[in-house]
């Protein structure tokens, strides 16, 4: 007998009670209701209001009168822009209604059609698809900036940009990409898939989930606004007191991270509680898909590490507006304070970027190898181990900074130790490939690329963790190549694997295979051709974030830049494939094109808003490939067959 663990989903079912007073204005249909358009309008008005308020408050501060630039007005402008944007999309409707004692109208009730993607919605699947668009927006902005950076580095003597503009391009590229990379898998795939994979109808806090997406978009506007405000010169690491010296564009960076940080904390909090509390009956921890384990570990990091960034950003904003001196040594502060606060967040941050990539390859390789996941418990333990240890390694970014010298061997040890659980994904991946029957579909190719790239990235990380070698390679192109190999080579390739794999489920359409093959091969080859020479460039002495370099290094730099253009073209190819396959000439996908045993594939396509007609009872993990003559899907087939699925072997 199926235990139906249905939870109350009034909003989903769409039948609110009829109260005496109704707050009706947000729910008018069509153009006059709340959507991205109203958000943009109210956000813009908020910016104007905040700017005016800041001028009113601060125009007679001495430093502002002397400077001619009002950072207080810029900050208030951005603050009210974000508040207005969120209010315009409808984030505050429910809490405000509750506060004033009215019964709130249910949020937008799953209107059919494309308009729901422009609204504040409680459906985690809609939020997942919204995130895909958001993430691609960040990616293409950052990517264009990267093309500009590589163009400048074609010659050490001929310059396309002034040094001022160049450093702002570099800083914006890094910051936009890091903001994107934080959420690139947790946002789209985590939000879409985690409830489906654990057999739930929704996440624990759907409003917080939707809020995390719209605040992510608001953060894009904030960080992008740094450019018209004059840009910021500090790189994505924002070191003080260069940040104190910088112009008003720095507020865009500091506040942008604060805003993105709020979204990160919200998303992590929501997903972690969902995974802990909303698992279907029978979904024990040892049956949890490895992707969900990785998202759980990531969510823990998102929730626990980001508040430190928020505090650091707050101190920076105070330094730049209220003339405090948290980071200014001449007035009692310390430049080390920012460094430590930033990197205390910054190191868990990069594991926020690595772990979901591991989760995706762990989830996909069994499907394409037609074998169970090897050493599942080791994989899960590795994710937990990485997440725990990631809080203990941050000073390896500061080996030469003048930190307490006793700390250097300690952090060298902890950093070496963290490479042990990080290596588990290779044990698991290689073990799964052993005597398998590998289907080289496009998602699998991307997974193999993840292993290839992350191996190089991870091994060079071990080089960097060793203090004597760190003296040579810190602060130059070696470390730059290391993190591009791990974040781009690992995470971004895993994201592509996940997209090609799950878009048929999310949209019912297959990505075009031929274009996909071209996309994969050009992206993989040109990625390696772009970034591998940078290890050599770094060893030969070129620092990061420079617009000029030793003449002898021009050959390598040019090779890297030309390859980078080709890499950019491969992303264009991806975008063309996406548009072609989703909109221009879509090809209908079968219900389970990859023959996956995952629970998410057992739902109908398109997935109904309530996900499962009956909550399934879980009997095994989803990796039973080849274990019975016709592999039994992970749910009990007897009572709880969801509608519309076909059983697959």
Would you count residue 73 as binding other proteins (CB under 8 A)? no
- Please identify, using beta-carbon distances, which residue of 271 and 367 lies nearer to other proteins: 367
Would you count residue 555 as binding other proteins (CB under 8 A)? no
Interface residue with other proteins, options 11, 625, 635, 642 (CB under 8 A): 625
- Please identify, using beta-carbon distances, which residue of 161 and 580 lies nearer to other proteins: 161
d(CA 30, CA 19): 24
Q: Residue 308: phi, psi to the nearest 5?
A: -70, -40
Taking the complex as a whole, the smallest distance from the CB of residue 602 to other proteins amounts, in Å, to 22
- Please identify, using beta-carbon distances, which residue of 238 and 348 lies nearer to other proteins: 238
Q: In this structure, are strands 509-510 and 587-588 parallel, antiparallel, or unpaired? A: antiparallel
Would you count residue 45 as binding other proteins (CB under 8 A)? no
> Residue 510 gets which letter from DSSP?
E
Would you count residue 373 as binding other proteins (CB under 8 A)? yes
Task: Candidates 51-59, 85-93, 352-360, 463-471: pick the segment binding other proteins (CB under 8 A).
Answer: 463-471
- Please identify, using beta-carbon distances, which residue of 9 and 69 lies nearer to other proteins: 69
Burial of residue 108 (CB within 10 Å: 0-12, 13-18, 19+) is buried
Considering only residues 465 to 504 of the shown chain, the ones binding other proteins according to CB under 8 A are 465-472, 474-476
Site size with other proteins, rule: CB under 8 A: 103
Q: Residue 509: phi, psi to the nearest 5?
A: -125, 140
Considering only residues 189 to 228 of the shown chain, the ones binding other proteins according to CB under 8 A are none
Alpha helices in 153-248 (DSSP H): 163-183, 191-198, 206-225, 242-245
Residue 428 CB partners (closer than 8 Å, separation 6+) = 362, 373, 374, 375, 376, 378, 379, 382
Considering only residues 377 to 436 of the shown chain, the ones binding other proteins according to CB under 8 A are 377-378, 399-406, 408-409, 412-413, 416-417, 419-420, 423-424, 426-427, 430-431, 433-436
Would you count residue 508 as binding other proteins (CB under 8 A)? no
- Please identify, using beta-carbon distances, which residue of 211 and 374 lies nearer to other proteins: 374
Would you count residue 241 as binding other proteins (CB under 8 A)? yes
d(CA 305, CA 285): 24
What is the Cα Rg of the chain in Å?
Answer: 25
Q: Residue 587: phi, psi to the nearest 5?
A: -115, 125
Would you count residue 462 as binding other proteins (CB under 8 A)? yes
Interface residue with other proteins, options 543, 555, 590, 606 (CB under 8 A): 543
SS3 476: strand
- Please identify, using beta-carbon distances, which residue of 425 and 599 lies nearer to other proteins: 425
Taking the complex as a whole, the smallest distance from the CB of residue 178 to other proteins amounts, in Å, to 15
**Cβ neighbours of 366 (radius 10 Å):** 28
Within its chain, how far is the Cα of 288 from the centroid? 22
Taking the complex as a whole, the smallest distance from the CB of residue 409 to other proteins amounts, in Å, to 4
Would you count residue 68 as binding other proteins (CB under 8 A)? no
- Please identify, using beta-carbon distances, which residue of 410 and 591 lies nearer to other proteins: 410
Would you count residue 3 as binding other proteins (CB under 8 A)? no
Interface residue with other proteins, options 118, 213, 278, 376 (CB under 8 A): 376
Q: How far is CA 489 from CA 472, 531, 590, in A?
A: 23, 10, 30
Which string of b and e fits 131-155 if b means at least 16 CB within 10 Å?
Answer: bbebbbbbbbbbbebbbbbbebbeb
In which residue are the tokens 């003559």 written?
Answer: 629
Considering only residues 315 to 354 of the shown chain, the ones binding other proteins according to CB under 8 A are 323, 325, 328-336
Q: With residue 587 as reference, give the H or E element that holds it.
A: strand 587-588
- 68 is written with which tokens? 């001619």
Would you count residue 632 as binding other proteins (CB under 8 A)? no
Interface residue with other proteins, options 8, 62, 630, 646 (CB under 8 A): 62
Task: Candidates 73-81, 193-201, 231-239, 495-503: pick the segment binding other proteins (CB under 8 A).
Answer: 231-239
- Please identify, using beta-carbon distances, which residue of 15 and 245 lies nearer to other proteins: 245
> Residue 637 gets which letter from DSSP?
T
d(CA 475, CA 174): 15
> Residue 386: which of 406, 356, 365 has the closest Cα?
356
Binding mask 150-179 for other proteins (x = CB under 8 A): -------------xx--x------------
Taking the complex as a whole, the smallest distance from the CB of residue 224 to other proteins amounts, in Å, to 21
Length of the chain: 649
User: Cα 394–395–401 angle (5° rounding)?
Assistant: 145
Taking the complex as a whole, the smallest distance from the CB of residue 329 to other proteins amounts, in Å, to 4
- Please identify, using beta-carbon distances, which residue of 127 and 534 lies nearer to other proteins: 534
Residue 549 CB partners (closer than 8 Å, separation 6+) = 153, 156, 537, 542, 557
Task: Candidates 92-100, 253-261, 487-495, 540-548: pick the segment binding other proteins (CB under 8 A).
Answer: 540-548
């Amino acid at each position: 007998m199926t235990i139906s663990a249905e939870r109350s989903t009034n909003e989903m079912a769409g039948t609110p009670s009829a109260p005496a007073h109704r707050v009706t204005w947000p729910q008018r249909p069509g153009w006059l209701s709340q959507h991205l358009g109203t958000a943009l309008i109210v956000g813009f008005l908020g910016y104007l209001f905040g700017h005016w308020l800041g001028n009113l408050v601060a125009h007679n501060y001495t430093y502002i009168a002397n400077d001619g630039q009002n950072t207080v007005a810029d900050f208030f402008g951005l603050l009210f822009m974000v508040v207005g944007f969120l209010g315009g999309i409808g984030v505050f409707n429910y809490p405000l209604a509750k506060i004033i004692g009215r019964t709130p109208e249910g949020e937008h009730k799953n209107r059919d059609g494309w308009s729901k993607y422009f609204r504040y919605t409680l459906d985690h699947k809609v939020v997942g698809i919204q995130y895909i668009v958001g993430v691609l927006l960040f990616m293409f902005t950052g990517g264009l900036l990267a093309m500009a950076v590589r163009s400048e580095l074609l010659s050490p003597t001929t310059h396309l940009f002034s040094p001022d503009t160049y450093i702002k391009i570099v800083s914006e590229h890094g910051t936009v990409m890091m903001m994107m990379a934080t959420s690139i898998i947790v946002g789209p795939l985590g939000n879409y898939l985690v409830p489906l994979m654990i057999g739930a109808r929704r996440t624990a806090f759907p409003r917080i989930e939707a809020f995390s997406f719209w605040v992510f978009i608001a953060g894009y506007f904030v960080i992008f606004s740094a450019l018209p405000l004059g840009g910021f010169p500090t790189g994505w690491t924002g070191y003080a007191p260069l940040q104190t010296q910088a112009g008003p564009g720095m507020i865009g960076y500091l506040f942008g991270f604060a805003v993105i940080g709020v979204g990160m904390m919200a998303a992590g909090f929501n997903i972690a509680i969902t995974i802990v509390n909303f698992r279907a009956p029978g979904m024990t921890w040892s049956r949890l898909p490895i992707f969900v384990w990785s998202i759980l570990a990531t969510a823990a990091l998102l929730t626990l590490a980001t508040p430190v960034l928020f505090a650091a950003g707050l101190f920076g904003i105070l330094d730049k507006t209220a003339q405090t001196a948290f980071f200014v040594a001449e007035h009692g502060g310390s430049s080390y304070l920012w460094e430590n606060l930033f990197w205390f967040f910054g190191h868990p941050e990069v594991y926020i970027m690595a772990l979901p990539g591991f989760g995706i390859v762990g989830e996909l390789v069994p499907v394409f190898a037609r074998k169970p996941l090897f050493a599942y418990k080791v994989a899960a333990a590795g994710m937990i181990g990485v997440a725990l240890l990631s809080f203990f390694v941050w000073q390896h970014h500061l080996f030469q900074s003048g930190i307490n010298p006793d700390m250097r061997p300690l952090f060298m040890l902890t950093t070496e130790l963290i490479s042990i659980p990080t290596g588990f994904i290779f044990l698991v991946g290689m073990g799964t490939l052993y005597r398998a029957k590998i289907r080289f579909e496009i998602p699998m190719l991307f997974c193999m690329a993840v292993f290839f790239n992350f191996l190089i990235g991870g091994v060079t990380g071990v080089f960097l963790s060793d203090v004597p070698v760190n003296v040579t390679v810190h602060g130059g192109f070696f470390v730059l190549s290391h993190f591009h190999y791990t974040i781009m080579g690992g995470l971004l390739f895993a994201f592509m694997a996940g997209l090609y794999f799950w878009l048929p489920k999310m949209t019912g359409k297959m990505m075009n295979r031929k274009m996909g093959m071209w996309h994969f091969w050009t992206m993989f080859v040109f990625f390696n051709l772009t970034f591998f020479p940078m290890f050599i460039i770094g060893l030969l002495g070129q620092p990061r974030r420079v617009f000029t370099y030793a003449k002898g290094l021009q050959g390598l730099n040019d090779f890297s830049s030309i390859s980078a253009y080709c890499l950019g073209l491969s992303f264009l190819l991806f975008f063309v494939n996406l548009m072609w396959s989703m909109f221009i000439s879509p090809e209908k996908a079968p219900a389970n094109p990859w023959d996956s045993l995952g629970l998410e594939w057992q739902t109908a396509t398109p997935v109904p808003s309530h996900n499962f007609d009956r909550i399934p009872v879980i009997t095994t993990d989803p990796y039973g490939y080849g274990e019975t003559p016709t592999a039994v899907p992970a749910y009990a087939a007897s009572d709880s067959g969801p509608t519309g699925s076909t059983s697959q072997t």
